[in-house]
Structures are given as C-alpha cells and as structure tokens.
Amino acid sequence: MSSERRISPAAPRERDARIASVSRPGFGSSSENKKCGVPHGFSAKVTWQVSPPGYRAGAMKLPSLVLISCVLLGSVGCGRKETSAAATPPPPAPSAGPKTFELTAGDAMKFNLSRMEVTAGETVKVILTNTGTLPRDVMGHNWVLLKKDASGQAFANAAMTCKEQDYLPPQLADQVIAHTRLVGPRQTDEVVFKAPAEPGEYPFLCSFPAHYASGMKGVLVIR
C-alpha cells in the first residue's frame, strides 16, 4: 500500500535560486551600517538543512491485522509474529516532501497564518508571498522564526535600525532559526529548514519596522 499523502507543489515560478544560499551575500548589502553592529555574518548562522525524505517514521498500523490473524489461527505463536511484522515498517512514500506552509502578507500588515504546527525534526518549507501593492521600502515583509525563548518584541526593536540588513539585526543572528528575504509587492521567497527537536512554541514575526506591533507575528508549534 502506498501512501496517498501529497503535498501540493509550490508554485514553480520564481523558485530559482532562493532556497539555495546558505549565506546570502546580498544579505546586508555591501554597505556597512554602523548602527546595526557587526555587518554581515547574519545568515551564516542560519541553517538551511534538508533532511532526507521519510524522516518522520510512520506509525505502525499492523497490530490490528496481526490480532485478526491471531484470532483466526487461534494458536500460540502470535506474539512472535507481531514482533517480526512490526520490525519491518512500510517504506516511506517517496513523493513526500517537506511540510509546506504558504504564507501571504499584504498592505494590511497581517500574515494569513498566525499558528503553524509541525513535528520535531521535520523538514519544513515556508513560502512567503507579498500580496500587497505598496513599495518594498514602505511595506516590505519577511518571515523570521526565532528560537523558543527569544523575544519577538526585542528582535523587532533591534531590527528597526537595520534597514541595510533588511531588518535582520546581526547582533541577534543567533536567535534566528530560519528566515525569508524581505519581499516587495508580488514577490515571493521561500525557506526550507529542519524543525527544532525540542517541542514548544517558537515565535515568528515580520521584522519590518512597526509590523510586529501591528500583529505580524505568530507561533510555530513543535510537537
């Protein structure tokens, strides 16, 4: 039996080189911003790992079958059969990709999702599309996932003076688990990362000035 689960493919458009860069040279731009502390080096901490497919092992669905067999056979050796059957899990569906979330944000300064749930260690893809019309300089959006204990408010505050770094404060780079680029109207960016192993609620936000205060935030729940 093969799994029917499919993840709708992300729009193929504009997917080009976005995932790839581990440390995007364009991140802070070439000019230095003294107000923002150490230039560059921000994205060096961000991991863009992709774990092999099938990371999340499927739960066994065999016991009920084994039970039925036991009843029919009415014999003694069933315990051992169950053990051997359970030792060979079904192969993971080869088509299973990362768990994908399609985020949108427009001129109203809201994400369409404020809560996302994933499994610990799962590969996650977040696609952010700016559906607005205002210029990137006045209404850009990004998606930044922080560590569990990080403060979204503190990150947003620090980001305000980091225009040259697309509002990603280098001094708080170690609080960032993953992020997209800052996208302007009708632009899309996406990021693939491995969900943290520790369950809990991880804050995410848009770090463009004043957007956090306007409610561009949420939580990624790790189960």
Cα 68–73–79 angle (5° rounding)?
Answer: 70
Tell me the β-bridge partners of 107.
Answer: none
Residue with smaller CB distance to Cu ion, 146 or 222:
146
Contacts with 83 (C-beta within 8 Å, 6 or more apart), sequence order = none
Residue with smaller CB distance to Cu ion, 104 or 119:
104
Binding site residues, Cu ion, CB under 5 A: 141, 206, 208, 211, 216
Nearest residue to Cu ion by CB is: 206
Residue with smaller CB distance to Cu ion, 101 or 208:
208
Residue with smaller CB distance to Cu ion, 216 or 222:
216
In whole angstroms, the minimum distance from the beta carbon of 211 to Cu ion comes to: 3
Q: What is the chain's Cα-based Rg? A: 22
- Phi/psi at 49 (nearest 5 deg)? -80, 145
Strand ranges across the sheet with 176-179: 115-118, 217-222, 200-205, 144-146, 176-179
User: What 3-state DSSP class applies to 218?
Assistant: strand
For residues 164 and 33, is the Cβ–Cβ distance under 8 A?
yes
Residue with smaller CB distance to Cu ion, 182 or 222:
182
In whole angstroms, the minimum distance from the beta carbon of 155 to Cu ion comes to: 13
Tokens representing residue 207 in the block: 């770090």
Residue type, 68: I
At which residue do the structure tokens 């994908």 appear?
A: 100
In whole angstroms, the minimum distance from the beta carbon of 109 to Cu ion comes to: 6
In whole angstroms, the minimum distance from the beta carbon of 151 to Cu ion comes to: 18
In whole angstroms, the minimum distance from the beta carbon of 153 to Cu ion comes to: 15
